[in-house]
Amino acid sequence: MNRRDSLKALVVGGLAATTLVEACKQPAKENAAETATGNQPDQSDRMAEEKAYAKKLAAEPKFFTDHEMATITVLGDIIIPKDDISGSASDAKVPDFIEFIVKDMPNHQTPMKGGLRWLDLQCLNRYNNSFIDCSHTQQMEMVDEIAWPKKAKPEMRQGMAFFSLMRNLTATGFYTSQIGVKDIGYMGNTPNQWNGVPDDVLKQYGLSYNEKELKECISFDKKA
């Protein structure tokens, strides 16, 4: 993903479906993380075609080898570890999500497989071990070479591109899971009565509703 595309994805991800889904060339694949668990009967409220598609992807042979999955798991938990607020990427089944998404969006396959290979080759040259068999210190040394785009050395650029993709996929997988939704504090998609922007928030920005707005737009109990 180049800069423009990643920004686009970043912000399109943050746009109301009503406006931007129309403009999207590739419709967003919702709740992809759930699909990754594909073995249980699919209880989701989806069209038959979608269910059949999810089943078909789940039935495909694994894309990543066990070794690659283990690497993805270690990397994912470096990117999103457990902290005071929420669990880690692997707690949120991010590796399963990544296995799913590369089947759903095959354009990620080569960058992911190649990137994992690049990482192992680097580690073999440096430490005589594949990434997952390196010590924690070595792993972090390696990650620090590719995790900071503005500081990365020119010869690390391919690794940096891979790590950015890995970070993006990890973030999407994590924040579309239940753990991640709680962490980020998304409070929508629940029945509610819109009471306007909460008073303390309005105050924080030095704003308030005027009489006309209160009367015409918020007709029910403001304290409800």
Partner 1 sequence: MQEYQVYGRTVILAASACESARLMLNSKSQRYPNGIGNSSGVVGKYLHDSTGADMGGILPQLFDRKRYNEDGVGGMHVYTPWWLDAKKDKLDFPRGYHIEYGGGFDMPLYGFNWGIEQLNGSYKVKGKQKEAGGYGASLKEDYRFFFGASIGMAGRGEGIAREDSYCEIDPDVVDKYGIPVLRFHTQWSDYEIKQAKHMKETFKEILTNMGAVITWGDDDGEHNNWGLHNPGNIIHEAGTVRMGSDPKRSALNKYSQSHDVKNLFCVDGGQFVSQADKNITWTILALSMRASEYIVDQMKKNNI
Ligand X SMILES: Cc1cc2nc3c(=O)[nH]c(=O)nc-3n(C[C@H](O)[C@H](O)[C@H](O)COP(=O)(O)OP(=O)(O)OC[C@H]3O[C@@H](n4cnc5c(N)ncnc54)[C@H](O)[C@@H]3O)c2cc1C
Residues forming the site for ligand X (CB under 6 A):
18, 22
> Under DSSP, is residue 126 helix (H, G, I), strand (E, B) or coil?
helix
Q: How far is the CB of 29 from ligand X (least distance, A)?
A: 14
Instruction: Report in angstroms how near the CB of residue 26 gets to partner 1 at its nearest.
Output: 9
Given ligand X, partner 1, none, residue 124, with its beta carbon under 5 to 8 Å by kind, binds none
Smallest distance, Å, CB 51 to ligand X?
19
Q: Which is nearer to partner 1, 117 or 203 (CB)?
A: 203
The rounded distance, in Å, linking the Cα atoms of 78 and 30 is 25
Contacted by 149, from partner 1, ligand X, none: CB < 5 to 8 Å by type: partner 1
Question: What is the greatest pairwise CA distance in the chain?
Answer: 72
**Vertex 82, ends 184 and 102: CA angle to 5°?**
70
Q: How far is the CB of 103 from ligand X (least distance, A)?
A: 24
Listed in sequence order, the DSSP H helices in the chain are: 3-13, 17-20, 32-35, 48-59, 66-79, 94-104, 109-127, 136-146, 157-175, 178-184, 199-204, 211-217
Q: 73-86 burial, b for 16+ CB within 10 Å, e for fewer?
A: bbbbbbbbeeeeeb
Instruction: Tell the smallest beta-carbon distance from residue 49 to partner 1 (Å).
Output: 15
**Cβ-based nearer residue to partner 1, 40 or 190:** 190
Q: Summarize as ranges the residues that interact with partner 1 (CB under 8 A).
A: 1, 3-4, 6-20, 22-23, 25, 28-30, 32, 78-81, 83, 85-86, 101, 143, 147-151, 163-164, 167-168, 171-172, 175-176, 180-181, 183-190, 192, 194, 197-198, 200-201, 204-205
